[in-house]
Amino acid sequence: MLEDLEQRTFRYFWETANLENGLVPDRYPSPSFSSIAAVGFGLTAYGIGVERGYVSREAARERVLATLRFFRTAPQGPEASGTSGHQGFFYHFLDMKSGHRFETTELSTVDTALLLGGVLFVQSYFDGADPQEVEIRRLADEIYRRVDWRWAQARPPAISHGWSPEAGFIPYDWIGYNEAMLLVILALGSPTFPVEPAAWQTWTSGYKEQWGTFFGQEHLSFPPLFGHQYSHVWVDFRGIQDSSMRARGIDYFENSRRATYAQRAYAMANPKGWKGYGQDIWGLTACDGPADMELEYRGERRRFHSYSARGPGLNDDGTLAPTAAAASIPFAPEIAIPAVMELRRRYGEHIYSTYGFRDSFNPSFEYDVPLKDGRRVPGLGWVAGDYLGIDQGPIIAMIENHRSQLVWRVMRKNPYIRAGLERAGFQGGWLEEKP
């Protein structure tokens, strides 16, 4: 089952990307712009594909080179159109063909970091003497070194969510536990524009409001599971601790394990009485949904959502996403693997198809109303029509980390990841070993 899911998910990236520039669509089969985070996951998937024999190393090299050459040469500047990024960062969404900014999307610091996760993975993975592999390493280095992290500190030492030519910096900063842990680590590890260690202290200053016991698990909470998964795709947090985790006596990997168990416990308690939730059917995260409207469910008005971040106590409208359980497999395989298998067994081809799992489904949504996305399946409720790149990426990467630790092993060799972790105050575990 895991092998089949991994291979199908790999094909999402391999078959939907633009061969000319390497851009990966945000979603498929709906017509879509590219998500730069999905490109980062795609670059990671290509190395996995080589290891698993899905594609040759030569074919993967060519795809990676097309991608890195595009990002290295794509126009940068403060202009509102005709560019792909500014100050080394990239716009959240890019036109699939031109590679330029899509409409008025923001210059995204966290999505640039997720792109760079893939860029640094291929830098460390393609370590041979072949001229193409030498070029991959050079381009990856240039792309990472160009990012001016200090510029993004609109309110130092915090790092802003992003910027736009029209409005300047977004008035929010990355403070508190969520998916942006990798962003701060990369900003600390930069050899060219590093932020000060105070950026990490500012990030962790939000933890005091997030630490607590939720559904029997004491941990740093962030309701959607993607916040407990994204940074862990590339960074092996097992056995390494910053001062916050040392004080709690755990590491971030253990924190994600507890968050996974808390989500399962929430589904078993099912306080809202949604259909399907249970011991092996669980998983709330950011995903597609059926519609934005209020409807009556079991005698009371409930609000349903289209694309939204979901979690216990956050927009829980009965919509479940397979990526939530699948990307949690390294943390808690004993509950996540049975969940993935039960999802496929119970819902079959309606949610499991060409590229693995469709993004989401909602067994409770059986209303005859206009849908934002997807379709109704008699007896099964609503099912998404698309696969999403940022939900597919963690599936293949985390299954591979569970099976072989490939991404973690490769990234432990990356000097920038190590430098960022050490400047954030991480100690112990593999950081004590010689690189």
Provide DSSP, 212-234. EEETTEEEE--SSGGGGTHHHHH
pLDDT at 21: 99
pLDDT at 266: 98
- Mean pLDDT value across residues 346-356: 96
Q: Are 8 and 28 in contact (CB under 8 A)?
A: no
Please enumerate in sequence order all residues whose Cβ is within 8 A of that of 205, keeping only pairs 6 or more positions apart, or say none: 175, 176
DSSP structural state of residue 424: T
Count of structural domains within the chain? 1
- Mean pLDDT value across residues 233-260: 99
- Average pLDDT over the chain, rounded to whole? 98
pTM for the whole structure: 0.98
User: For residue 115, is it within any domain?
Assistant: yes
pLDDT of 355 over the 90 cut: yes
Expressed as residue numbers, the domain containing 111 is 1-262+390-432
**Residue 60, domain CATH:** 1.50.10.140
pLDDT of 47 over the 90 cut: yes
Instruction: Decide which of 227 and 313 is more confident.
Output: 227
User: For residue 286, is it within any domain?
Assistant: no
In Å, how far are 114, 227, 250, 258 from 221, measured between CA atoms?
21, 9, 14, 9
- Mean pLDDT value across residues 390-419: 99
User: For residue 114, is it within any domain?
Assistant: yes
| pLDDT band at 62; cut points 50, 70, 90 | very high
User: For residue 207, is it within any domain?
Assistant: yes
Q: Which of 148, 105, 126 is nearest to 50 (CA)?
A: 126
- Mean pLDDT value across residues 315-341: 99
Query: Residue 25: beta bridge partners?
Result: 34
pLDDT of 435 over the 80 cut: no
User: For residue 297, is it within any domain?
Assistant: no
In degrees rounded to 5, what are phi and psi of residue 31? -55, 140
pLDDT at 123: 99
pLDDT at 132: 98
| pLDDT band at 156; cut points 50, 70, 90 | very high
pLDDT of 434 over the 90 cut: no
pLDDT at 10: 99
For helices 36-52 and 57-73, the axis angle rounded to 10 degrees is 160
User: For residue 161, is it within any domain?
Assistant: yes
User: For residue 329, is it within any domain?
Assistant: no
- Mean pLDDT value across residues 327-351: 98
CA 141 – CA 128 distance, rounded (Å): 15
**Three-class SS state of 204:** helix
User: For residue 368, is it within any domain?
Assistant: no
CA 15 – CA 367 distance, rounded (Å): 34
